[in-house]
Amino acid sequence: MPELRRDTIIGRWVIIAKERGQRPYDFVIEKDKTKGGFCPLCPGNEHTTPPEVLAYGRPHYSPNGPGWTLRVVPNKFPALVIEGDLNKRGEGIYDKMNGIGAHEVIIDTPRHDETIPTMSHEQLIQTFWAYRDRILDLAQDSRFRYIIIFKNFGRAAGASLEHSHSQLIALPIVPHRIQEEIQSSLHYYEFKERCIFCDIIRQEKSQDIRIVCENKNFITICPFAPRSPFEMWLMPKEHQSSYVSMDDNQFHLLTDLFLETMQRLNKALPEVPYNYMLHTAPLLSPFLQHYHWHIEIMPKVTTIAGFEWSTGFYINPTPPEESAQFLKEITLE
Amino acid sequence: MPELRRDTIIGRWVIIAKERGQRPYDFVIEKDKTKGGFCPLCPGNEHTTPPEVLAYGRPHYSPNGPGWTLRVVPNKFPALVIEGDLNKRGEGIYDKMNGIGAHEVIIDTPRHDETIPTMSHEQLIQTFWAYRDRILDLAQDSRFRYIIIFKNFGRAAGASLEHSHSQLIALPIVPHRIQEEIQSSLHYYEFKERCIFCDIIRQEKSQDIRIVCENKNFITICPFAPRSPFEMWLMPKEHQSSYVSMDDNQFHLLTDLFLETMQRLNKALPEVPYNYMLHTAPLLSPFLQHYHWHIEIMPKVTTIAGFEWSTGFYINPTPPEESAQFLKEITLE
């Protein structure tokens, strides 16, 4: 059983997932598994993944068969397991609980060689629908407090499979970084009676020096204090704390702007590895006046990450105004 | 002039160091500069670095000449600059100040091919002396609040030069991660009247399942909730909040235990890339009952770091009890 352990000093929880099977000597040589060879995410290989929990696009009911346009399956090597009790307990001054949760893989497309910037609107919107549908389903499990959704693209960003996919982790705790955001934005709200993200959007609109692109409902900016070159935040323009509150029209507009954002990035830095992560309100408090859902996109362009990762202190050689201008001026077909 | 900018939501400061010269198109191709070629840190090439600020081991006074056993020079491509005013100011809801600070390179050894685990006690202790001497000197500058000292070893951990060196960054703010540690440990102290690090050491001694090695004054453990396999913390056993409070004898014992720790790591994972960072009390409050200086050592063995770096959420496949046992059982010559 994996374990969730709390860093007793700063309160960060980590998953100790020894079932993932790496022993100390396994780390000596790392292999590149992303290129070539058998792909368990491709159509025809459905039997090699755990049974699907969601699929779109099949004309007839035939779970785990071909014909799908998007498919969600449990991770074959999950960091957390779905069955069992949390059994929260101490070990002296330390705190831990069983590693209960869900770890799923959203297979964005049946096409092995398709990446987000080359997807159609019709394909990509299914990924965003799947995020909502899985959150709504897993939110019914009273053990869960937060659902992290993210994508690793490229080996340098942590992808272990080449075929385009996102990942979902349902957790019995709210991650440290999200807690920080929520607490800090609450503090701001108590002081100002305004959402800090709404204030950021207002200022970005008026300064107009860090906007990458926007449409009626959404805006992509390079944030004022980015951790890395080309970091971007995509946010709804009107206050909305939970991703699952979006209506049909918003899903279309989100898809449009996300596609444009990723096409600009890909044209600036072809096939650059990246991570993105959905930041949304916790499951037990979806409607917050002070919090605003958004997607953080982090291209992995510098290798100084090692130090920054371990210290939380960032040195960024590119001002966000330059990143934004560069991305904004790109001509898309 | 570089800028320090505050993330307006969670309060993290970042350095925007555009003088380091990378423009957007520079990121497309990354080159490996760590192997081969001219080395500006080697003896004989002293004229290619900025003039030294400290050197040990020269029999006669001849700054920037050869004969040294350790040398400290300003970084040729500094993230911060030493001359100027902070000029703290707002930009609407955002906060920034000039990127004033020091950025120095500690050349640990004159020998290009020497790494920490192959160093003699006499060589390595000079690195620890240099950390102290530079902190004491820079602490006299009233603009500074914190001095970060760290080492990147190996390209995957962010090293851009092969020759063994540490780096020092003097900052006009206390980094977010250190602030968190200090605030959380203060909270614990207010509750318990005990230092949380001292309590951790007591518990580790009594459990004896995460200790890697120890001597009279120092202990190295794998922490209870590590971010990565083989993460280690080296701590003084007796309460001490500031690195610069060590006496002569402690410097020797620190050198002994650090050497043993790094030899164990290197034997477990030969030449594994790593970062280490010194966590010590802020310059303006060196004597704290609730804070305890230590060195955090983070080997870079997994590539899933991309996601974890961007979210602050960690999945670690190796329990610290296994890492510690593996490191402890290694036979050193």
The answer to whether B64 contacts chain A (CB < 8 Å) is no
List chain A residues with CB under 8 Å of B145: none
Residue range A158-172, pLDDT digits in tens? 888 899 999 999 999
Q: Per-residue pLDDT for B26 more than 60?
A: no
In this predicted structure, what is the pLDDT of residue A306? Answer: 60
Average model confidence (pLDDT) for chain A?
90
What is the mean predicted confidence (pLDDT) over A30-58?
83
Q: How far is CA B110 from CA A183, A325, B54, B67, B281, in A?
A: 49, 44, 14, 9, 30
- Residue of A103, A163, A165, A279 marked catalytic: A165
pLDDT per residue over A230-272, tens digit each?
A: 999 999 999 999 999 999 999 999 999 999 999 999 999 999 9
The 3-state DSSP class for residue B219 equals strand
Cα separation values, B296 from A310, B200, B207, Å:
8, 15, 21
Hey, is the C-beta of B6 within 8 angstroms of any chain A C-beta? yes
Tell which residue, B310, B79, B99, has the closest CA to residue A232.
Answer: B310
Q: Write down the pLDDT at residue B74.
A: 95
Rounded to a whole number of angstroms, the distance from the CA of B146 to the nearest CA of chain A is 12
Q: Give me the domains of chain B, ranges plus CATH numbers.
A: 3-173 (3.30.428.10), 177-328 (3.30.428.10)
In terms of Cα–Cα distance, which of B161, B68, B160 is closest to B123? B68
* From A91, A310, A322, residue closest to B275, measured CB to CB: A310
Residue B1 has a pLDDT of 84
Per-residue pLDDT at B311 exceeds 80: no
pLDDT over 90 (residue A69): yes
pLDDT of residue B31: 43
| Residue among B24, B197, B298 whose CB faces A229 most closely | B24
A203/B94 CB distance under 8 A: yes
Report how far residue B99's alpha carbon sits from residue A319's, in angstroms, rounded to the nearest whole number. 13
Q: Would residue A165 show up in a list of annotated catalytic residues for this protein?
A: yes
pLDDT classification of A30: cutoffs 50, 70, 90 = very low
The shortest C-alpha distance from B233 to chain A (Å) reads 12
Q: Predicted ipTM? A: 0.88
Over residues A263-290, the pLDDT tens digits come to 999 999 999 999 999 999 999 999 999 9
Q: Which of A94-103, A232-241, A310-319 has the lowest mean pLDDT?
A: A310-319
How many C-beta neighbours within 10 Å does residue A146 have?
A: 20
Note whether B114 contacts A: Cβ–Cβ < 8 A.
no
Per-residue pLDDT tens digits for A135-148: 999 999 999 999 99
Q: Per-residue confidence at B10, pLDDT binned at 50, 70, 90? A: confident
For the record, the structure tokens of A212 come out as 């990458």
CA distance B91 to A209: 12
Residue A199 has pLDDT above 90, yes or no: yes
Percent of chain A past pLDDT 70, that is, above it, reads 92
pLDDT per position as a tens digit, B171-194: 999 988 899 999 999 999 999 999
Q: Which residue has the tokens 């080697």?
A: B42
Q: What is the arithmetic mean of pLDDT over A196-218? A: 97
pLDDT above 60 for B22? no
The pLDDT assigned to A301 comes to: 81
Catalytic annotation, residues of B: 165
Give A-chain residues touching B323 at CB under 8 angstroms. 24
Band (pLDDT 50/70/90 cuts) for residue A310 is: low
Tell me if chain B has a CB within 8 Å of the CB of A33.
no
